[in-house]
Each structure stands twice: as structure tokens, then as C-alpha cells.
Amino acid sequence: MLSQRQDAILREVVRIFTDTGQPVGSKTLMNELPFHVSSATIRNEMAMLEEVGYLEKTHLSSGRIPSAMGYRYYLDHLVQPTSVPQDIAQRIDEDFGKTYHQIGDIIEQSAKILSHLTSYTAITLGPESSSIRLTGFRIVPLNAHQLMAIIVTSDNNVENNIYTVDDDFDTSLIEKIVNIVNDKLVGQPLNKVLQMLHSDVPAILSEYMYSTDGLLDMMDSLFKKAESEKYYVDGQLNLLNYANGDDMSEVQSLFSIINQSNDLRKLLDPSILDDGIKVRLGSELGSDALKNYSIITANYDVGHHGKGVIALLGPTTMHYSQLIGLLGEFRVELAKRLIDYYSRYDDS
């Protein structure tokens, strides 16, 4: 356990280092600390903090910077979230202020707002309820050769695929297909739907059609779209502000991580997150490309519609106190707006 004075010193080192980016020396600290002790005393304390592993030097005679452990301790014990200033709160409200026709639009807008506000990279994920069901299926003929297949799911998500057929299609056949899907698949959970699509459905379809492959492929991709988690990423380019220019390959792997939902799932899986806000340092994430970055995640809760995640990705030296404060209010605001959306339109 650290003494109060050591706490204060560590907190101040983090603050100054995030502000200036430079290692912090004993004299600087002496002038910034809220109490007065000599620089020699501070040197003694810092030597101790270094011994326990919370501070480190960039070279033998440099000032100190917080180590990964030091950041961890800071985040766990010392950080003091600041509350969101009035004008920012108002701006969030304004930026949200339009009518949304889909949940995805709200989630997407959240990412936009957060990345603009922070100039970091924002990643948001819509609410996930454990069991999404298929609630609607339509086939709409578009012209002589094209159809649109549309599905609606219990989370109010809509997906569509276009399907092109060589020869003119048979209206009664389409009706048949719609009936089969309505009969067998609508009402089922999505994973069940996908499973049945490959077990039960082919046999039934082949009673009416000669070649079922193309149709099944199309429906498979359609259901998979509905099942896949849709991450919205905004402010990717902000990463370039903090990237160090002489290792472009690092930047590349960073970009490819945030553009692959597989990688994002590993980072942001809502099930592994406790409630509330959590900061994970790059060194704790096991990914080499992320080692100089950290991720602040917050989840939000929309009752029986599930939980979602909002996250900020930035360099380890982010302004945690402000950002944690911001996310703390943002998650509530977002949940409120989503609940509002559901309450107005939901008919499940």
C-alpha cells in the first residue's frame, strides 16, 4: 500500500506526463504538488515508487514516467472522473437531435459524437440480447430477374439481400418459399434458423425447385448478416495523430484490428465486461500492435433489449479522468435514447 503522499505524487506524475508527454522530474513535481516538500524528498519517494514498479525512467538520469503497473494502480485507486461540462453535454444533446429510423443509426451516431468530442477513435456496438428471433420475412420482386429478400428480427433490425435469377421467376413459387420460411423459421431464434436452413429446409425446398443452392446461399448470407455483430467505428484517422511515424506496420495492424469485427469482438465482447466503465491497457491486451494504446469501455443497459458497448481507443497517455467522466454520462444518455426509441416503436 502506498502512503497518501506517494499517491499524490503518482497521480501528479500521471497528470503531468499525459499533459506534456515528457518524463517528470523532481523539481517540476515540487512546483506542482499541492503541498510543499523539497525536491530531494520527492526524489526519495520516487525512488520508492520505482522500486515497487509504478514508475520508471527512460534512461538512467531522466525524469520518471508511469509504468504499466503504475497506470493500473492509478486507474484502480487514484483517478478522479471529472463531470461533463455544461456546453459539452449540450452539444451531445444537439448532435443526437434528429429522428432515427433504425437503432443502428443511433449507435452509429454515438460513435461519431464520441470520436469528435474526444479526438480518439470510438467504437460502438448495438444492444445485444441473448436470443434474437426472426420475426419477419418478405420477398419483393423488383423486376423480371431480380428479387429482394428482407428479414426482420426481434431486435428491430432489418436486413436485405438482392437475388438475381437467370430465367423469369414463378410468382407462385415465391409465395411457396415465403410460406415455408414463415412456417418453419419465423419465430425461431436466429442460431436455430441458421441451423435449420442447412438441415430441414433444403429437403423441403427441393420438392418445389430444381436447384436450391443459389437460394440457400443467399438466405444463409442474409441470416448471417442479421446475426453478426455490427461494430461502428468512427475517427479511425485520429489514430494517426498518436502513431509514431517510423513504424507504419504498427499503424497498419492497428487499422486492420479495428476494421475486423472478429478482432473487435475479442476486445469488446460485452459478456466479459463488468458493468460500468473499465480501462484496459495495451500491455494487458496481449496484442503487440496495441501495446502503446489503451481502451476505455463502458457498457450501457437497455433492459430486456440487452446490453451494448461503447469504447474509446487511444494512446496509453489518454486523459482518463475526463474520458471516464464523459463515458459515464454518455452511457446513460445513450441508454435513455434507445429506451425512448424502443418505447415508441417497439411492438414485440
Partner DNA sequence: TTTAGCACTATTCATACCTGAGTGCTAACA
Partner DNA sequence: TGTTAGCACTCAGGTATGAATAGTGCTAAA
Q: Based on the shown chain and the rule CB under 7 A, indicate whether residue 105 belongs to the binding site for DNA.
A: no
Range list of β-strands (E), the chain: 55-57, 64-66, 121-128, 134-141, 146-153, 158-164, 231-234, 277-281, 293-301, 307-315
The helix or strand, by DSSP H or E, that contains position 232, with its residue range, turns out to be: strand 231-234
Q: Rule CB under 7 A: say whether 98 interacts with DNA.
A: no
* Nearest approach, Cβ of residue 26 and a copy of itself (Å): 32
63 binds DNA (CB under 7 A): yes
Among 18, 41, 188, 236, binds DNA (CB under 7 A): 41
Among 196, 218, 258, 273, binds a copy of itself (CB under 8 A): 218
DSSP 135: E
Binding-site partner at residue 57 among DNA, a copy of itself, none, CB < 5 to 8 Å by type: DNA
How far apart (Å, rounded) are the C-alpha atoms in residues 102 and 49?
A: 51
Chain length of the chain? 348
Q: CB neighbours of 54 closer than 8 A, spacing ≥ 6?
A: 2, 10, 66, 67, 69, 70, 73
For 196, list phi and psi in degrees, rounded to 5. Answer: -65, -30
CA 152 – CA 140 distance, rounded (Å)? 14
Q: Does 152 bind a copy of itself (CB under 8 A)?
A: yes
User: Which lies closer to DNA via its Cβ, residue 26 or residue 153?
Assistant: 26
- Say which DSSP state 294 is in: E
Contacts of 218 (CB under 8 A, 6+ apart): 149, 161, 163
Query: Could you tell me which stretch among 44-52, 187-195, 223-231, 280-288 binds DNA (CB under 7 A)?
Result: 44-52
251 binds a copy of itself (CB under 8 A): yes
Stretch that binds a copy of itself, among 5-13, 52-60, 97-105, 284-292 (CB under 8 A): 97-105
- Inter-residue contact 55 to 64 (CB < 8 Å): yes
- The nearer residue to a copy of itself, 50 or 105, going by C-beta atoms, is 105
State which H helix or E strand residue 115 sits in: helix 103-118
- Percentages helix, strand, coil for the chain (3-state, rounded to 5) are 55, 20, 30
Judged by beta carbon, residue 160 or residue 182, the one nearer a copy of itself is: 160
Least Å from the CB of residue 339 to a copy of itself: 16
- Binding mask of the shown chain, residues 153 to 182, with x at each position contacting a copy of itself by CB under 8 A: ---x-x-xxxxx-x----------------
Distance CA(285)–CA(90), nearest Å, equals 34
* Residue 254 near residue 194, CB atoms below 8 Å: no
166 binds, among a copy of itself, DNA, none (CB under 5 to 8 A by kind): a copy of itself
Q: How far is the CB of 2 from a copy of itself (least distance, A)?
A: 38
Residue 47 interacts with DNA (CB under 7 A)? yes
Do residues 243 and 289 make contact, with C-beta atoms less than 8 angstroms apart? no
Backbone φ and ψ for 316, nearest 5 degrees, come out as: -55, -30
Specify the residue, 33 or 152, whose C-beta has the smaller distance to DNA. Answer: 33
User: Binding of a copy of itself at residue 224 (CB under 8 A)?
Assistant: no
Structure-block grid coordinates of residue 145: 430477374
Residues near DNA (CB under 7 A): 22-28, 36-41, 43-44, 46-47, 50, 57-64
The residues binding a copy of itself (CB under 8 A) are 99-102, 135-136, 138, 140, 142-146, 148, 150, 152, 156, 158, 160-164, 166, 214, 218, 237, 240-241, 243-248, 251-252, 255-256, 344-345, 347
